[in-house]
Chain A
Amino acid sequence: MVATRDIGARVLEGLRELERRWIRPLGQRLRPPRARRQKARGGSPEAEELLVALLRARLRDGGAAVSIPDLPARAPASELEALVRALVDVPPRHDVAAVESLRKVA
């Protein structure tokens, strides 16, 4: 039986790869023509799943979605990068973060 920390390490390894491959290069690419941008759509659906889940979790916690400062305002080079940017751009919203926890009250 493998300890929970092992799976935790493997998940973290996956996360580091996501950070390295998709989050860090944000804003470092030249703006591609529209056609190339459309072609770049696609990629690993599971990676996108995890990326969305993590970014949404960070938003839920009330923080910025990623810690990269000063995202440049230019067009993203891939669908995944656009997705990160879209989730990073989410403004804080009181009623999302401050939903009361449900308790047995009735």
Chain B
Amino acid sequence: MLIYADLRCLQDPGFARRGIGSHAAFLLTAARSLRRGAVTIVGLADASLGSPPTEVAALCDRVQYSFAPRCGEPAVFLWLSPMTHDTRLVARFFDRPEILPCAVVYDFIPLLDPDRYLASRASLLAYAAAREWLAAARLFLPISTAVGDELVTRLGVDSQSVEVTGVALRGAFAALQSGGLPAPRPATAPADYVMFVGGPDPRKNLETVVSALLRAGRPDPALVIAGGYPDRWRARVARTAAAAGGRAVRLEFLDHVSDAELAGWYGHAAATVVASRAEGFSMPVIEAMACGSPVIASDIPCHRELVADPAARFAPDAPDDLAARLRAVMVDARARERLVAAQRTTPERFTAARVGERFAAALELRMPGHARRARKAVAARRPVIALVSPFPPDRSGVADYTRRTVAALSARVDVDVWTDQPEPVGDARVRAFHAIGSGAWLRPDYDATVAVLGNSAFHAPILAGHLRHGGPCILHDSRLLDLNAWWHGIERTRLLAEAELRRPVSEAEVRRWACHQGEIPTLFLSEVARSSAPLFVHSRALASHVARLYGVEAVHLPFALLREFTPRETAAPSRQRAREALGIPPGRTVIVTLGIYGATKAPEVCAEAIARMRGMGRDAHLVFVGDAGRSAEPVLRRAAAAGAGGAVHFTAEWIDDEIWRTWLLAADGAIQLRTHRFGGISGALMDCIAAGVPTVANEDLAAALDAPSTVARVGDAFTAAEVATALEGLLARGGGRDEATRVRYGAEHSMENYVAGLFAALGIADGERGEAGHTLSGCRVA
């Protein structure tokens, strides 16, 4: 059984140490011991709340910082605290046939006193939103029958979908319940006192207890109060205690008592009073009973379940009523003993075993039927995927690649594209285009929303949405320094670097890395790696860097051909026509380097290598294809100094696809270099391989693409001499292109294989190639 558990109430200190956190942790523990088959628990954490406590993470098989379920796999979504945190994150676990949303329900107290609990517009809207989502759950686990009844009346849910679990006694009280030694009397305990456990909330009704005690007729009434009351509150209660009729109630407020200490206070009290005006469940009632204290409780629905004897209940706003009940147990020892004996068995319904059994039974009863129906529904539908990506005419290689990906995906799934390109090129294979926004992650009809990330400014809104919502992510670049610096600014990027490197980092360092990316000591991927489930990378090297630096297992999805060439196109006559079209004179050796000009591509080394080839008597020319050379002055100077001043050329910027292909056919060779060495890939090198262009690339880049023998490799600390020598070696093989190698590589790196790998890792069954989740030829887990 696969269980996704929302851990936010256990991450958030405001809830983790309260009743909600305690019950949530208990249920998570109970989920571990479900009997029916193996249980896998995926903890869903919100990065903005920090890491879950170690003991909570230990209850999960893994913790995932994205609220995204795996497609098609029957699972339970265990919503441990529906009313307390941002409901947008859970949207992807609803309205999917494979997910059974299961909500733990504590109470509806805010609805009883909205002026107090929902006073701000924000809290009101958030609560209303949570209520809407709660109504959409399909299994409800209220902590009491009273809350279960409220679910039916307030939300109109089917009573058959409600299973009351109760709340388990914590260890110290459970031990006493099962016959452990009574806790010792606290040293500071008054001779005769009434115990009250509440909290700084008028709903707990402390003032009524104080008033009642004044009227109970005891000579020296004392009230011991636990529950973290602040000083101002204590002073106010003390004034109430002193103001009535000349007698005063002696008040003793306890600070931070342990469960063991609290058991002593309960166990030696004349009685315990629980006076709340509203509760979902009442831990003090069963704790006190377990410790042998008689309990007098307010007459509210959840107390009626726990305190069966009407004589032990009082109207919450009637201190005289409570005073009479107190007198009965404090004056008459036998009546007190009878009440203790009658209440002694109540906590037995709330041992960890009993509560765990009720929880397990609720899930185990429903899971087989749910799994059956889910598989049927999933198999019957055509999946829908949303890609959040740049899209042509955005001038981005990622945009082109996404368009190719869509073409292959659309054979088996419907695809929506979310892009900030205001006029995306028409594509019949795209079901619909949308402007990037949170809707991409919040719509109910997507089996997966895949963020496509690269290192350019095009990806800024994608990064923001992905970091908030998380889910599958295709990462095109091996580092995100530029994107982070552009989107978050240098300071935030510096902080990110400090977190990744665990050392102080100066702003100057970040600025230097931005200009010299070969020197970066980290990849600025920690946030993306954490938010991605799964993270797709295009090279084995990057997958191992991500594992080493961030402890995240990325899926290696080998990069696919972006452009394909037929054997007729790459044959000599076609290539000759390409040279003529570009005006290349006979006898000239044209070496291309493709893509947007940048320091990371070592343009000076390329130019100097050409100069060296010319020095050896070859009429070699270097063409920067796809860049107009507006920032190329240093390269031109170096080329001139090396004697190749007239042999370095630039095309127009961002040339169209046809001219790009023509250069790939016309070229005698190519140079594609990268100064950074983290397994980054290059669409331009892939094009060179696709066209069979003899190419020189540095080792890291060539390995990232599993480059074939048409690519000669130079070391990552390459020199112009090495590049020139390698190029000469390739040219010495003759003018033809290695068709067999080119075609074989193309088949292995087809977009169809790429998409099959994507489907497998997303969990979308591929009818033709294999079952979902199985490793396919094109997809390997690092």
Contact = CB atoms under 8 A, between A and B. Distances in A.
Nearest to B421: A34
In this complex, which of B138, B377, B439 has the most chain A Cβ atoms within 10 angstroms of its Cβ? B439
Nearest to A54: B132
Contacts of A104: 160, 365-366
Given A100-B373, A102-B160, 16 more contacts: A1-B277, A2-B114, A6-B114, A7-B110, A7-B114, A49-B130, A52-B88, A53-B87, A54-B132, A59-B444, A82-B434, A90-B443, A99-B377, A101-B138, A101-B160, A101-B161
Nearest to B87: A49
Interface residues of B, number: 60
A85 to B, nearest CB: 8
Contacts of B113: 1-2
Interface in B334-378: 364-366, 368-370, 373, 377
A41 to B, nearest CB: 7
Interface in A90-106: 90-91, 93-96, 99-106
B136 interface: yes
Given A1-B113, A4-B154, A95-B377, A11 B124 contact: yes
Most chain B Cβ neighbours within 10 Å, of A7, A11, A34, A75: A7
A47 interface: yes
Contacts of B133: 53, 56
The A interface, classified by DSSP as helix, strand, loop or mixed, is helix
A67 interface: no
B86 A102 contact: no
Contacts of A60: 94-95, 136, 444
A105 B154 contact: no
Nearest to B136: A60
Contacts of B96: 96
B280 interface: no
A56 B95 contact: yes
Contacts of B422: 34, 75
B670 to A, nearest CB: 35
B381 interface: yes
B501 to A, nearest CB: 31
Contacts of B118: 7, 10
Contacts of A79: 437-438
B636 interface: no
B132 A86 contact: no
A79 B88 CA distance: 15
B445 A90 contact: yes
Interface in A60-89: 60, 75-76, 79, 82-83, 85-87, 89
A57 B125 contact: no
14 contacts: A34-B420, A46-B123, A48-B88, A52-B91, A57-B136, A82-B437, A93-B444, A99-B377, A102-B138, A102-B139, A103-B158, A106-B364, A106-B366, A106-B369
A12 to B, nearest CB: 9
Nearest to B438: A83
A14 to B, nearest CB: 5
B95 A14 contact: no
A52 B87 contact: yes
A95 B273 CA distance: 51
A90 B87 CA distance: 20
Contacts of B128: 11, 14-15, 50, 53
A49 to B, nearest CB: 4
Interface of A: 1-2, 4, 6-7, 10-11, 14-15, 34, 37-38, 41, 44-50, 52-54, 56-57, 59-60, 75-76, 79, 82-83, 85-87, 89-91, 93-96, 99-106
Contact of B111 (A4, A15, A48): A4
Contacts of A59: 95, 444
A9 to B, nearest CB: 10
Nearest to B382: A93
B311 interface: no
A82 B439 contact: yes
A102 B440 contact: no
Contacts of B123: 46
A30 to B, nearest CB: 14
Q: Which 6 A-B pairs have the closest CB atoms?
A: A86-B439, A53-B132, A49-B129, A46-B125, A53-B129, A82-B437
Given A34-B420, A82-B437, A95-B380, A89 B129 contact: no
B95 A46 contact: no
A75 B421 CA distance: 11
B761 to A, nearest CB: 23
B438 A106 contact: no
Q: Which of B97, B364, B442 has the most CB of A within 10 A?
A: B442
Contacts of A54: 129, 132
Contacts of B368: 106
B438 A48 contact: yes
Contacts of B88: 45, 48-49, 52
A11 B97 CA distance: 30
Contacts of B461: 38, 41
B425 interface: no
A86 B445 contact: no
Contacts of B369: 102, 105-106
